[in-house]
Amino acid sequence: MKQPLIILAGPTASGKTSLSVKLAEKIRGSVISADSMQVYRCMDIGSAKIRPEEMNNIPHYLIDELMPEEEFNIVLFQKLAQKYMAEIYAVTAIMN
């Protein structure tokens, strides 16, 4: 069976982050960020990174994952996203 996956895309400051949290609350989901700057620790201001109090206890992945001196590219994004998706789907299967 194909696993569900919802992708939210849009320009900066279009409301993707707040929509992702609201949607995740409704469907008991998680959020995997695809932002190339939010993956880095210490890049909070310039990246408009979601604050912990805005997450509403929704699991978020690929936020504060790397130090700024570490390389991030599409290959690493795919590897980490697939790893986290497997974890999310495994937890979801246990809960259902």
Predicted TM-score of the model (pTM): 0.88
Q: Which residue range is the domain that position 20 belongs to?
A: 16-95
CA pair distance 13, 62, nearest whole angstrom: 19
HSE (side-chain half, CA atoms, 13 Å) at 15: 3
Residues 22-42, mean pLDDT to the nearest whole number:
93
Q: What is the pLDDT of residue 48?
A: 82
Q: What is the pLDDT of residue 95?
A: 66
Q: Is 7 domain-assigned?
A: no
For residue range 33-46, list pLDDT tens digits in order. 999 899 999 888 77
Q: Is 6 domain-assigned?
A: no
| CATH number where 40 lies | 3.40.50.300
| Count of domains for the chain | 1
Q: Is 60 domain-assigned?
A: yes
Q: Is 11 domain-assigned?
A: no
Angle at 82 between CA 46 and CA 44, to 5 degrees: 10
For residue range 34-78, list pLDDT tens digits in order. 998 999 998 887 778 899 999 999 999 999 999 999 999 999 999
